Amino acid sequence: MKINRQRLADTFLNLVRIDSPSREEGAVAEWIKKNFQALKGVSATFDNSAENTGSQCGNLIIHIDGDVDAPPLFFNAHMDTVEPGRGITPLFDGNVFRTDGSTILGSDDKAAIAILFEVVRCLREQQIAHCPLDLVFTVCEEIGLLGAKALDTSLVRAEAGIALDSTDINSLINRAPEAVRLNIEVVGKAAHAGINPEEGINAIQVAASALAALHLGRIDHETTANIGTIQGGKASNIVPEKVSVQGEVRSHDPEKLRMVQDGITGEFVRAADRYRKKFSSGDNALNGNLEPPFVQTEIVNDYPKMSVPEEHILVRTALRAAEKAGRNIALQTTGGGSDANILNSKGLTTLILGIGMQNVHTTGEFILLDDMVKTAELTGMIIREWSGQA
């Protein structure tokens, strides 16, 4: 497949100029729908996921007719971007896309959308025989994979596919961890910090005691834990009554995940118990009230693990296509989560292919057109190789 380099660049530049922060994907979705439907043998449908995500539109599913009697294949990309992502001014020097430094670029994941559009146009123009294709463009990926979670899978004909949403163009990800989010609230007792501090229980101090005892970061080769935010207190002259702490745990081993999760929440409970004993005896007794401090925890299942076996036909097809394209692609395990985690949990076998985006979610984000072209060429080869499996 011969990729039109300049046309791919122009498509990407058009896409990143369309604002599409999470829940505001309507304009870019209409661009995608309009331009795909202008091609022969293409139809587009929105699902009803907006009712659950709060987005301006649903997930967009594109059906592309095939002319080969082979199983359908799908590709996935997400339409939303993170902030600051409004009024993007892309800069392009012939190979490198970046911004003026005031916003993100949006290559995550509009480079993938541009690549898929170019591949489909090339299939049509070059009259390359292929299987039926489904393109699944999701909303709200950046705020908890909400679009994928609400996806109407009955609109997707294919049972296997590839998500274009990672950095390294030489990696094919077949394993990703499970993740949970932790919302922990420590409740103490408010008091005037100067007049009667003895009558207060400092929730921030209780939380700090728990935090100091935690093992965070990389727990082992397949498990990580993090505390990301802490909020509490009202003023410097008030003993803080409440503090909220948010964190996460990820692991490829569900048993380890539960163990680390319980260890974190348990540390907060133990810290509260220590302070409760302190304030319920001697001169610091709180009139017999033994309730504060106490801890309230909420554990949210963020996304399930994904694990596609090396012997799966999709893996073997993708690696064979890479070899034929002269590419050295390696199977990889990632510590991140994506739509692929959710799609796999819904029975849609999904791998993740890197597209070359760098420094994503920062104003220093960039991507090389060379890498986008290579990904487009490999995507076309995967389609051709899959289509050969009648």
* pLDDT tens-place string over residues 170-187: 999 999 999 999 999 999
pLDDT at 199 over 90: yes
pLDDT value at residue 291: 80
* pLDDT tens-place string over residues 361-378: 999 999 999 999 999 999
Candidates 108, 141, 142, 168; catalytic one = 141
Backbone angles phi, psi at 92, to 5 degrees: -140, 125
Give the C-alpha separation, 278 to 295, whole Å.
16
Task: Walk me through the domains of the chain, giving residue ranges and CATH numbers.
Answer: 5-177+305-387 (3.40.630.10), 181-302 (3.30.70.360)
Backbone angles phi, psi at 126, to 5 degrees: -95, 5
DSSP letter string over 45-90?
Answer: EE-STHHHH--SS--EEEEE--SSSS--EEEEEE--BPSS-SS--E
β-strands 178-187, 294-303 pairing: antiparallel
User: Does the annotation mark 339 as catalytic?
Assistant: no
Give the global pTM. Answer: 0.92
pLDDT at 390 over 70: no
pLDDT at 287 over 90: no
Mean pLDDT of the chain: 95
> In the chain, where does DSSP find H-type helix?
5-16, 26-37, 50-53, 107-125, 146-149, 203-212, 254-279, 313-324, 339-345, 369-387
pLDDT value at residue 181: 97
pLDDT at 208 over 80: yes
pLDDT band at 280 (very low <50, low <70, confident <90, very high): low
* pLDDT tens-place string over residues 225-278: 999 999 999 999 999 999 999 999 999 999 999 999 999 999 999 999 999 987
161, 64 Cβ separation under 8 angstroms: no
* pLDDT tens-place string over residues 41-76: 999 999 999 999 999 999 999 999 999 999 999 999
pLDDT value at residue 376: 98
59, 25 Cβ separation under 8 angstroms: no
User: Does the annotation mark 159 as catalytic?
Assistant: no
The closest of 189, 184, 193, 212 to 202, measured between CA atoms, is: 189
pLDDT value at residue 278: 79
* pLDDT tens-place string over residues 121-174: 999 999 999 999 999 999 999 999 999 999 999 999 999 999 999 999 999 999
219, 240 Cβ separation under 8 angstroms: no
Residues with Cβ within 8 Å of 386's Cβ and at least 6 positions away in sequence, in order, are: 70, 71, 73, 131, 317, 321
pLDDT at 290 over 70: no
Of 113-117, 130-134, 277-281, least confident by mean pLDDT is 277-281
Residues with Cβ within 8 Å of 371's Cβ and at least 6 positions away in sequence, in order, are: 169, 355, 356
Candidates 47, 80, 108, 142; catalytic one = 80
Extract the tokens encoding 151: 């996806």
pLDDT value at residue 284: 44
* pLDDT tens-place string over residues 324-354: 999 999 999 999 999 999 999 999 999 999 9
pLDDT value at residue 22: 98
pLDDT value at residue 282: 45
